[in-house]
Amino acid sequence: MENSQKTTIDEFKSYTSHIFESHKGIHALEWIPIVESQNRDYFEEKATEVIGRKYIIRERNELGDLVPASKRDKYYPVYFLYPERGNEKAYGFDLGSQPDRVDAIKKALRSNSATATKAIHLVQESQKAPAFLVFVPVQKSNIVNSFILGVFKVKELVDVALRSVSVEGLNYEIYEQRNGHKNILLKKGDSEKKKVLFSHEVKVANEVWYINAWPDQDYLLANKSWTTWIFSTVGLLLTGFFGFVLLTTLGKEMQIQREVDKKTEELKKVNNMKSTFYANMSHEIRTPMNGILGMTDLILMNKNIDSETKELAQVIKNCGHSLLTIVNDVLDYSKITSGKLVIEKHDVEIRRTLDEVISLFRSQANEKGIELESSVDEDVPEMISTDIVRFKQIINNLLSNAIKFTSLGSVKVHISLEEKIEDEANINISVQDTGIGLSSESLEKILLVFYSGRVFNHS
């Protein structure tokens, strides 16, 4: 889960759902990427594609309405969240737009550890029930590039922590200190007439909560020996529950990070081995094949050989060039998978280059008794700047496939001008044949590896 553009919603749900099954005190889990200002437009565009609806990084204005976020150096928007129901308004909300969230983000970045906010009100909630956020940094190459965010409602968290303890007749208040003042998070009973029997501190990530508790008179008389124990248990339950949730989240994130790093390293090794193998194989095949082609050319240059021998020599030459084409394709695939394929642009004469490619397939078409035609529209420029090897390769692949699957009729290559703006031109290369064609089902699968659109019966 190290890259927000590569991780899908389904993967995020899979990551978070097991936590919800075990810990009912969590209100929501979210993924918060760090988005640089210059990347905002691109991020919003990609997020719209991934999520399936319009995604805009937003903030609240002075009236409390959600509006597009103002320009700033970095954004911390809600990208993925779980569960979605009831939290839809949080999508795209920039946590960097509010000071209390920013303070926690900065602390998390400095400490590289889970950091909680003070009590806040959630952007997706109309009722102002106290809640808090916990930011868990996620690293890539030792740099924090996003956060896993835990959203907790104080009442939900306390209710779950106390569900195994009978607190009927027990009153309490849970509060935090903010600027030297008590900020009540949750209260049960009349605090004005209280006589505090028990006080306890609860560690919530980097923040501290305080619990004051006092029982009703009847409860005190009935459970005098158990009261202190019960409230000690309450404090431990709250601390333990929250700590376990954080450990689960952090542990899972670290486990995933280790797995990603391990798989990435293994993949690099495999790709390096493949590249080395392909390069060696290419050299080992090219060397003898060039010798064969050279000797074949000498045979063809001999004017004293009969027509049958000359024809057989030409077949050898054509097959040799075909094999070299396959070797080049394999080597190109190796370069593509390792990211080392370089496109080299040169001035290319379109019509002459097309004639050269057509001539390579002329004898093959004649053998099958099919017509091989080519045409170039008049408005197509004489010269274009492109990679001539890739240009020929495209036409080669299309022609080879068309002739292979055509038994009667013709194969036609046509080049037309698709668009021209000043000195730039896009051209369209099309190959039309009278072969077996493709069904609608085959069209959907045609780009799958090893799919040919036809079942062969080898005897």
The answer as to whether 34 is a domain residue is yes
In this structure, the answer to whether residues 13 and 49 fall within a common structural domain is: yes
Residue 433, domain CATH: 3.30.565.10
Mark whether 142 and 209 lie in a shared domain: no
Determine, yes or no, domain membership for 252.
no
What pLDDT sits at residue 3? 44
- Token pair, residue 356, equals 């050269």
Q: Which two tokens stand for residue 272?
A: 């390096």
Does 29 map to a domain? yes
Angstrom distances, CA of residue 122 to CA of 20, 44, 68, 100, 445: 19, 22, 18, 12, 46
Domain assignment present for residue 398? The answer is yes
What's the rounded Cα separation, in Å, for the pair 404 and 150?
Answer: 59
181 with 224, same domain: the answer is yes
Residue 42's pLDDT is 92
Does some domain include residue 247?
no
Find the angle CA(369)-CA(375)-CA(379) to the nearest 5 degrees. 175
* Shared domain check, 120 and 180: no
DSSP letter (8 states) at residue 294: H
369 and 398 within one domain? yes
pTM of the prediction?
0.49
CA 326 to chain centre: 32
Which has the closest alpha carbon to 78: 120, 45, 30? 30
With tokens 């019966």, the residue in question is: 457
Q: For residue 300, tell me if it sits in a domain.
A: no
Separation of alpha carbons 255 and 63, rounded Å: 43
CATH of the domain at 38: 3.30.450.350
Domain boundary among 102, 119, 154: 154
How does pLDDT run along the chain (459 residues), one tens digit per residue? 334 444 567 777 777 777 776 666 678 888 899 999 999 999 999 888 888 888 999 998 888 888 999 999 999 999 988 888 877 888 899 999 988 899 999 998 988 888 888 888 887 666 678 888 888 888 776 788 888 888 888 888 777 767 666 667 778 888 888 887 888 888 887 766 667 777 778 777 778 888 887 777 766 666 655 555 555 555 555 555 555 455 455 455 555 555 666 666 777 777 777 777 777 777 677 778 888 888 888 888 888 888 888 888 888 887 787 787 777 777 776 666 666 667 788 888 989 989 888 888 888 888 889 999 999 999 888 888 888 888 888 888 888 888 888 988 999 999 998 877 777 778 889 999 998 777 766 666 665 554 555 543 332
| Boundary (domain end) residue, out of 135, 154, 173 | 154
Residue 71 near residue 89 (C-beta atoms within 8 A): no
The pLDDT assigned to 41 comes to: 92
Distance of CA 256 to the CA centre of its chain: 15
24 and 90, same domain (yes or no): yes
Specify the number of domains making up the chain: 3
SS3 349: strand
Residue 6 CA to its chain's centroid (Å)? 1
Q: What is the pLDDT of residue 5?
A: 44
297 three-state secondary structure:
helix
Does 146 share its domain with 162?
Answer: no
**Could you give the CA distance from residue 56 to residue 93 in angstroms, rounded to a whole number?**
8
Residue 389 lies in a domain: yes
SS3 sequence of 117-152: CCCECCCCCCCCCCEEEEEEEEEECCEEEEEEEEEE
pLDDT at 374: 92
Give backbone dihedrals phi and psi of 150, rounded to 5 degrees, phi first: -95, 130
Quick count: other Cβ atoms within 10 Å of Cβ 373? 12
Q: Print the domain residue range for 82.
A: 9-154
Q: Does one domain contain both 196 and 133? A: no
The C-alpha atoms of residue 280 and residue 292 are separated, in whole angstroms, by: 19
> Are residues 103 and 225 both part of a single domain?
no
Domain boundary among 131, 154, 177: 154
Same domain, 150 and 205: no
Let me know whether 84 and 135 are in one domain: yes
Q: Is residue 385 part of a domain?
A: yes
- Do 142 and 68 share a domain, yes or no? yes
